[in-house]
Structure 1
Amino acid sequence: MATTLKLPARSGALEDYRLRGTAPVQPPKGVKFNRIAYSAAHVVADPLAAVDPWLTAALDWDATIAYRQRLWSLGLGVAEAMDTAQRGMGLDWPTSLELIRRSLDAARDYPGALVASGCGTDHLSPDEVKTVDDVIRGYEEQMAAIEKLGGKLIIMASRALARVATHPGDYERVYGRILSQAKQPVILHWLGEMFDPALAGYWGGKDVDAAMATALGVISAHAGKVDGIKISLLDKDKEIAMRRRLPAGVRMYTGDDFNYAELIAGDGFGTQPTHGKSDALLGIFDAIAPAASAALGELAEGNLERFHAILGPTVPLSRHIFAAPTRFYKTGVVFMAWLNGHQKHFTMVGGQQSARSLPHLAELFRLADAANLLEQPELAVRRMNSLLAVHGVGA
């Protein structure tokens, strides 16, 4: 096997890189967790579809569902049709609903498999959303469609609501209405503006502490309808502060792709179990699934040092994948799936494979190797070399 290849540095110069050759860790069959862990799963585009890829979502359904089956087999749940699946960045609502339907159908073959599905307002065109009532109508339409399939809801942050809301009371009204109607407890989703600039000022203001107070008020008023909240602010101190204030039994699902290892391990604070640790709903778990599963298994056995030994090396990779502009992290997630042989091509919905530079992807390759995440090193080298050739390296 060729273990050395030339990779571009950020300067543009080519440098020799030699693979470490360390075998990836794999969880034992039937691994058990003491945390709930969802992976927000990516979708596999169909590169042979005769569509305009910037305008129309075309999926390879078999490869997309196969990836979810892999996650379930590793003990991870699937957070379906979320931003990792390019929701709002190429994946439209009709395709999202079909994805949810197929995922729920496939999950039936995996007893105990977890699936929670994104419910939003992205099917509404901006010119038809004038009031908060329009946002409520949008949420209710998607809510009804997902619940008709038997799906558990993740109430996604709404660009439409961020645009028309004028004060925190508008958020309280929208979420109060939706939560009062939910058939089973939902997961709320607070996505920071680094993930989506259109969500700046969510919960009614730019002050994060004030926004957090609004969100906590909504949760406390409807605690029986809230399983938990996922926050993606990339600020561990804000997450810890919020989880300590959650009502008893309401979970904090970390969406912090910079500090997830520390937040999942927890600090043991307080008398409520949910106040001292975070569960997980993470996009990075898509890219590091075997390591995440193995580490969570060790944590459940009380092996904290082993948990950190497995998961710690993945953090530099995750921080690179989610580096600013953070909203382009999906490119790195799909690149990892391609390197590891879980899809045949590096093509994305909306042409998003072009959202990161070649030096960025080269550094991602190095960090994946350093974290022992290249499952098939020979294949990964061949595919990296093919990408380099497309960019004129070695030509």
Structure 2
Amino acid sequence: MTTQTRTTRRTVLFATAGLALASLVLSLVAAASLVPGLPYDEPAHWSNVQYLLRASSLPVLGDPGVGYEAQQTPGFYAMAAIIAGLAGEPAFVAVRMLSALGQGILVAVTALILWPVTRRNVLATIAGAAFIALNPMLIVMSGSVQNDTWALVWGFAALALAVRSTRMPRWLHAALVGVLVALAVLTKLSMAPLLLGLVFAWLLRRRVLELLVAVATVAVLTGWWFVRNLVLYGDLTGQSAVALTGAEFQNEPLGPLALARTVLTYLTVPTEYLRNTIQAPVWVDAAAAAVGLVLVVGIVAICLRWRRAYAAWPLTAVAAVAVVSVVAWLVQVQFGWPVAFRTAYAALPFFALAAGAAVTLPRARWAGWTVLGVTSALQLAVLAWTAVTVSSLALTSLL
């Protein structure tokens, strides 16, 4: 390893560590300041944790005191119940802190994904990690009780391992990827497109052994959950029994503009996640649109430069997972199912890659760092507005 290579890796390592720490601190601040129950679905997620603490068994839809999120796979709730039991009285805040910890880890794993995809491009890797680290939506989400963050941690880890060159036997490598995918699915079922995306990528590269081993591993580790649902509810996911909880969801198919707006919102601003109790002023919408424009430019850059700027297999895996995740979300939305774009967050590594691609477009190195600085400043500005607005809501609730 040359001195230049060591310096390059050290730069990425220190930058990623700094971004991960900053994101962790910001998420902890969100955990301490958000009004309890304000984030979307938080009361229902917390209800699952409390049930596990109380009954030491999995909740069953239709039983007294069981909410609609009992349809969710139990991975996060098991972790959270352990933390809550150890924490005692401040259990709710402790579980929020568990989510915040996941956000810090997520930033580090994002860099592990981007490093091989970008052929060890320092600026692209740091820019992609910064997009995740300073993302207002992800920070607010990770300051609440929910299963998304840790599902993403396991899912991103699976993708990072899948795109990594290794000397271990191919079957063992694929089995370990399958274990991580299974953890993601057992934390949140909406991570299933991650496996489908990897299967598609393996098929494109004719890696049949990896495909078979990974799928078999996931099936063995997650099959019990689907069998349980069949026995209890008569369907694989338990969706048919959600109505037994008294919860009703209404959703209409969205047009192209509405779809674009909700995607942009869930990539930039936490307004929808906070039940639209806060309304973004014009300048916040403009900042979100500017970040969205950076992502669009980055996606175009990836399409134009994919042969010379990116490693073939890692890019195939990341892109396939993103496409399958977004298509799965679109299909559900068009059927009128009430699913937020968070269910397509397995595509986030690709959006992080796009953020990195946009900043590497200028030939002058200083120009790329400038674009990164401006994009990060826009994200921080939106985050600052969110903090001020949410703090005012917290003060109002105390009066």
TM-score (norm 2): 0.33
Specify which structure has the higher proportion of helix.
2
Specify which structure has the higher proportion of strand.
1
TM-score (norm 1): 0.33
